[in-house]
């Protein structure tokens, strides 16, 4: 089985303190609450106990801990809070509130291509949304936030991931990009969205310099 070992100290070069955007989860009884995107993905059957999951950018690990306690096959990685991890044949991968704290558009695109290449089935992507006024800002904590519009995110996912990805919206700000070779019919695909030919940009290597090492 293919294993990807991740060692990433890119946080040392971040322009803003991205780690400050990771929040501690509230308690639901004796367990931490799921993030809203993870709860939606579970409710809609995108994430289940029958498929392996890797939580990329897991922050303080709230989703990771609750998933593990509830019998999910899950591992995770965060470049600041949990800077060592591995992906061993992960079928699904989550990227929750990660893209919106990255200042550089090229870095966001490269990360999308990389993580889509690391999963075999579904990539769950969630971002902050402001449909009435998509914008970028630096907060009082000096963290960066990019607020998307839903149709903007759908277009980015299709353009960056190319013809291999089938993109569908689960809820406002929450999308799943599925590998075409694993699917036949996808209910709830993005309205009016058509598979686009892969651009030269999208056909570059799906791996980029995140210090990812392929281990036999």
DSSP states of the chain as a string?
--EEEEE--GGGG-SS-GGGG--PPPEETTEEPPPHHHHHHHHTTSS-TTS-EEEET-TT-HHHHHHHHTT--EEEEBTTTB-EEEEES-SEEEEES-GGG---HHHHHHHHHHHHHH-SSEEEEE--B-TTS-EEEE-TTS-EEEEBPHHHHHHHHHHHHGGGEEEEEEETTEEEEEEGGG-S--TTBPTT--PPPPPTTTTS-S--SS-EEEE-
Residue 53 · residue 72 · CB < 8 Å:
yes
Mean pLDDT value across residues 159-180: 95
Q: Given pLDDT bands bounded at 50, 70 and 90, which one contains residue 6?
A: low
Greatest mean pLDDT range, 10-24, 74-88, 122-136: 122-136
Mean pLDDT value across residues 160-187: 84
Residue 119 · residue 54 · CB < 8 Å:
yes
Distance, CA of 114 to chain centre: 10
pLDDT score of 27: 67
Task: Give the CATH number, domain containing residue 97.
Answer: 3.40.50
Q: Strand 74-77's sheet: what is its strand order?
A: 74-77, 53-56, 92-96, 122-126, 174-179, 165-171
Mean pLDDT value across residues 176-190: 65
What is the residue range of 14's domain? 3-215
pLDDT score of 89: 57
166-176 pLDDT, tens digit per residue, is 999 999 999 99
Mean pLDDT value across residues 141-166: 92
pLDDT score of 72: 97
- pLDDT over 50 (residue 124): yes
More confident residue, 22 or 202: 22
Mean pLDDT value across residues 124-135: 92
More confident residue, 5 or 122: 122
Number of independent structural domains in the chain: 1
């Amino acid at each position: 089985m293919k294993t990807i070992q991740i060692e990433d100290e890119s946080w040392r070069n971040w322009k803003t303190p991205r780690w400050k955007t990771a929040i501690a989860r509230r308690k639901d009884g004796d367990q931490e609450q799921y993030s809203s995107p993870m709860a939606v993905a579970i409710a809609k059957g995108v994430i289940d106990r029958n498929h392996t999951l890797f939580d990329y950018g897991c922050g303080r690990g709230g989703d990771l801990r609750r998933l593990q306690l509830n019998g999910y096959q899950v591992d995770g990685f965060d470049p600041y809070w949990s800077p060592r991890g591995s992906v061993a044949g992960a079928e699904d991968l989550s990227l929750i509130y990660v893209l919106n704290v990255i200042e550089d558009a090229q870095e966001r695109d490269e990360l999308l291509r990389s993580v889509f290449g690391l999963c075999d089935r579904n990539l769950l992507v969630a971002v902050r949304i402001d449909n009435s006024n998509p914008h970028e800002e630096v907060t009082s904590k000096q963290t960066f936030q990019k607020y998307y519009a839903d149709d903007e995110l759908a277009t980015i996912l299709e353009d960056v991931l190319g013809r291999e990805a089938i993109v569908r919206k689960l809820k406002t700000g929450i999308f799943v990009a599925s590998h075409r070779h694993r699917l036949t019919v996808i209910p709830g695909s993005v309205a009016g969205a058509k598979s686009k030919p892969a651009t030269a940009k999208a056909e570059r290597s799906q791996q980029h310099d995140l210090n990812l090492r392929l281990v036999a």
